[in-house]
Amino acid sequence: MACLGAALGLRCTTRSLRRSHRSRRAGWLMLGAVSIGCGIWTMHFIGMIGFSVEDAPVSYDPVLTLLSLGVAIGVVAVGVFLVGYRDAAPLNLGVAGVVTGLGVAAMHYIGMAAIRTHGTLRYDVPTVTLSVLIAVVAATAALWAAVSIHSLWSSLGASLVMGVAVTGMHYTGMAAVSVHVSQQATASQSSADLMSFLLAMLAGPLTVLLIAAVIVMFDPDLVLGDGEWSPR
């Protein structure tokens, strides 16, 4: 999912810079930011489905879960618009990469804060720091690729690297977590109810990614026009 979101986001960003009216550039950049943000968040939340605590039920606070989605889209939009309108000069790229990387890390840890279980979550500070560093490096590389790589196959290759890097950040962050169970308890939420909640949370971002994929697939300028790129 992280790779898919990155691939769609890179193609939309490329489209915004190629023969697009400035009035349309914002729309393509926003679609790219939403695609990348939804891809990152969907990867994160699918990963969270695999998280369990022995002898304790796990559920999620819906408000914090949705907040983490909003943060993911918002910070990616900041970075994409910075490089989309102000180019990839080193200083601008560095600022955009740091802001976006810190935002992606914030998304992850807000999502972790949404966990409700009979225990206390504790974090290993050096591992958390490493996960934030990975997020910043991955975000900077992604933003550089968004404005520097324009061919279809190069974008797909870059999206694979981005997806692996962001996923690496997620599991580095998960490696920092330990749960100290305070009491044993039977699950207060059935598996069916929990799965229904998780599927409902995933439905929106997955629909957005599907719509973005359809738009990209039916835009011949994105798929076939790589040789005619010219920035505005």
Q: Give the pLDDT confidence of 79-100 residue by residue, as tens digits.
A: 888 888 877 788 888 898 899 9
pLDDT at 128: 94
* Encoded amino acid at 97, one letter: G
Judge whether 146 lies within some domain: yes
pLDDT at residue 126 above 50?
yes
Judge whether 122 lies within some domain: yes
**DSSP letter for each residue of 63-94:** HHHHHHHHHHHHHHHHHHHHHHHHTT-HHHHH
| CA dihedral sign of residues 114, 120, 124, 127 | negative
Q: Is 181 exposed, middle or buried (0-12, 13-18, 19+ CB in 10 A)?
A: middle
Query: How many domains does one find in the chain?
Result: 1
Q: Give the pLDDT confidence of 131-140 residue by residue, as tens digits.
A: 999 999 988 8
Judge whether 117 lies within some domain: yes
pLDDT at residue 43 above 70?
yes
pLDDT at 232: 44
Judge whether 59 lies within some domain: yes
Q: Are 17 and 147 in contact, with CB atoms under 8 Å apart?
A: yes
Judge whether 29 lies within some domain: yes
Judge whether 9 lies within some domain: yes
Structural domain for 14, as ranges: 2-181+191-228
Judge whether 186 lies within some domain: no
Q: Which of 19-23, 49-53, 178-182 is predicted with the least confidence, judged by mean pLDDT? A: 19-23
